[in-house]
Amino acid sequence: MTSLTALTIADARDQLAAGKVSAVELADAHLAAMEKAADLNAFITTTPDVARDRAKASDTRRKKGDVGALDGIPLGIKDLFCTEGVLTTAASHILDGFKPPYESTVTAKLRDAGAVMLGKLNLDEFAMGSATITSYYGPTKNPWKAKGSSVDLVPGGSSGGSAAAVAASLCMGATGTDTGGSIRQPAAFTGIVGVKPTYGRCSRWGIVAFASSLDQAGPMTRTVRDSAIMLQVMCGHDPKDSTSSAHVVPDFEAVLKQGVKGLKIGIPKEYRPDGLNAEVSALWDRGMGWLKEAGAVAVDISLPHTKYALPTYYIVAPAEASSNLARYDGVRFGLREPGKSLDEMYAKTRAAGFGAEVKRRILIGTYVLSAGYYDAYYLKAQKVRALIARDFDQAFEKVDAILTPTAPSAPFGIGERMDDPVAMYLNDVFTVPASLAGIPGASVPAGLTATGLPLGLQVLTKRWDEETLFRVSQVIEDAAAFPRLGAS
């Protein structure tokens, strides 16, 4: 049955269509794999009953010839997406027992396209983290290990459960969300493809909010084509989300093989700081080499405000989070710790319900929005954010896409960098600028370190140009011939 879990979404789609495999067989194969790999702790909740019911329904539909774009495809759902009647935790103690009476727009679209939900995937608590170590449900392990080492590595974060599950072939694809790199960085850490579309492409309705102006859903898959197939279903205008865009959604899969001949690829000098990991730097050069071989032109560019991106992000995101997380007060749902007064109940509930990283960000966010500090922090950060966006706008007047490393390092050990939040925040140094600018970005697995750990390259394009994003990503994927886990 291992061969069924090794299928890509595109392959499975063909085999289902040809009647070579049933949705139930696919679901069962993945449910079995999930059980075997339970020690990865990729899932917070598995939903075998939902999976089998939906798989059966899919097979029935197929007999009638009435199938959707993802009919019968087994997927994992990051546990930040509200799923009707299924425990939704955001990896936080404070959402204990919360079963939403509604389905997020993105997961509803996937469900309506016939996808089969296998379960809810682990993440950093409220998506705050870069290693999936802040989850109330414990850390997720990266299915990759360094050559000759038994040390458990982080899968990146916050969509670390999604990344680990897709890399380990526990699901064919997964939803992720990306606020400052939470799709792209874990994709790089686990050797898979992760796409953060343009802000506004996917509806945020029904996704537990972290930072509203940055949060964006996207696919995490083993191939570029699979991401194109998934994103096609996930995105589109939603009248229930005022920030979702009515922009036309192109056919992503149709452009995959159009190549990069004649495209100008920007190489931003600010992404090569002194002391950049030599393997990361070398892979970046190799990636540009592949694109050149395919007919693209390298252009040196500058994104001068890059160095302000991380501090800007760590003002804007916590500010929004401090407000977004105010609703977790023990009054209407989730955890409640009784108190003698309303204030005491709030204090006890939130003290018990939130982990250290979430509390840290709520405190930072509350501080930067406070009277007397607002102008110096939040307002200033918004101005810098606009400058960062302008850097990209100006760059895209000269180039069609930008190529950078996804993360400054390969995955590190669980337990490392735990005592220094700033060192942890540096994981997102290459992904955060695009989040602040709202532009699309993808991470494509491109090579291995000397110790055999995955590294990813990041492709960025201008807003609403996911087509070029996919074209460039496809060329890198084709050239890299990345050795996927279990695909020996």
Partner 1 sequence: MSYLIKGDTGNWEVVIGLEVHAQVVSQAKLFSGASVAFGAAPNTQVSCVDAGMPGMLPVINGFCVAQAVKTGLGLKARINRHSVFARKNYFYADLPQGYQISQYDQPIVGEGTIVLDMPDGSTRTIGIERLHLEQDAGKSIHDMHPQKTFIDLNRSGVALMEIVSKPDLRSPEEAGQYLRKLRSILRYLGTCDGNMEEGSMRCDANVSVRPAGSNELRTRCEIKNVNSVRFVMQAIEHEARRHVDVYESGGTIVQETRLYDSNRDETRSMRSKEMAHDYRYFPDPDLPPLIFDQAFIDKIKASLPELPDDKKERFIRDYALSTYDADVLVAEQENALYFETVAKGRDAKLAANWVISNLFGMLNKQGVAIADSPVKAKDLGALIDLIADNTLSGRMAKEVFEVMVETGKAPAMIVEERGLKQVTDTGAIDAAIDQIIAANPDKVAEYRSGKDKLMGWFVGQLMKATQGKANPGLCGELLKKKLAP
Side chain identity at 468, as an amino acid letter?
T
- Give yes or no for residue 198 binding partner 1 (CB under 8 A): no
Q: Which pairing describes strands 264-268 and 216-221: parallel, antiparallel, or unpaired?
A: unpaired
149 is catalytic: no
- Give yes or no for residue 323 binding partner 1 (CB under 8 A): yes
Angle at 265 between CA 261 and CA 225, to 5 degrees: 65
Q: Is the peptide bond before 158 cis (omega within 30 degrees of 0)?
A: yes
Token readout for 367 is 């501080």
Q: Could you give the CA distance from residue 407 to residue 163 in angstroms, rounded to a whole number?
A: 15
- Give yes or no for residue 125 binding partner 1 (CB under 8 A): no
Could you say which of 85, 138, 239, 483 contacts partner 1 (CB under 8 A)?
Answer: 239
Q: List the one residue out of 125, 108, 127 whose CA is nearest residue 117.
A: 108
Query: On the CB side of 345, how many CA atoms lie within 13 Å of its CA?
Result: 12
Place of tokens 């009919």: 71
3 is catalytic: no
212 is catalytic: no
What's the chain's Rg over C-alpha atoms? 21
CB of 378 to partner 1, least distance (A): 6
Could you say which of 366, 380, 387, 485 contacts partner 1 (CB under 8 A)?
Answer: 366
Could you say which of 52, 333, 339, 360 contacts partner 1 (CB under 8 A)?
Answer: 333
Q: Could you give the CA distance from residue 418 to residue 424 in angstroms, rounded to a whole number?
A: 7
- Give yes or no for residue 337 binding partner 1 (CB under 8 A): no
Helix locations, 103-183, DSSP H: 105-112, 160-167
- Give yes or no for residue 100 binding partner 1 (CB under 8 A): yes
Kindly identify the residues of this chain, within the stretch 58-87, that bind partner 1 according to CB under 8 A: 81-82
- Give yes or no for residue 386 binding partner 1 (CB under 8 A): no
Comparing CB distances to partner 1, the nearer of 89 and 468 is 89
Place of tokens 């509350």: 366
Comparing CB distances to partner 1, the nearer of 144 and 205 is 205
Q: Could you give the CA distance from residue 158 to residue 155 in angstroms, rounded to a whole number?
A: 9
Candidates 19-27, 57-65, 208-216, 425-433; binding stretch for partner 1 (CB under 8 A): 208-216
Q: List the one residue out of 484, 312, 483, 306 whose CA is nearest residue 404.
A: 306
Q: Applying CB under 8 A, what is the total number of residues that bind partner 1? A: 44
Comparing CB distances to partner 1, the nearer of 98 and 271 is 98
Catalytic residue among 58, 104, 158, 473: 158
Binding site for partner 1 (CB under 8 A): 81-82, 88, 90, 95, 98, 100-102, 104, 204-209, 211-213, 239-243, 319-320, 322-323, 325-327, 329, 331-333, 342-343, 346, 366, 369-371, 374, 378
**Catalytic positions, written as ranges:** 78, 158, 182
